[in-house]
Amino acid sequence: MTVVSRADFHQQHLDRAREEAQRLFASKAELQGAWLGWVASQIYTLRPAEYAAMVRRELQRLQEMSDS
């Protein structure tokens, strides 16, 4: 069994995490007030937890960019 370092995992999955975050963020305007609960449920299903955390960070980055 090969152990992947955190940095390697991040590098391997960053593009996919960004795409997933974009997909989730794109639903915000349509879902409006229901978006937060919906997006939380979507992130909850993502595995492994490290990947879910990457998507969550990317969503936060997108939110901060849209607020400024």
Domain boundaries, the chain: 13-67
Tokens describing residue 4: 């992947």
pLDDT per residue as tens digits for the range 33-65: 999 999 999 999 999 999 999 999 999 999 999
pTM (2 d.p.): 0.90
CA 66/CA 58 separation, integer angstroms: 12
Residue 13: pLDDT over 90: yes
- Owner of token pair 């996919």: 16
- Owner of token pair 């980055």: 61
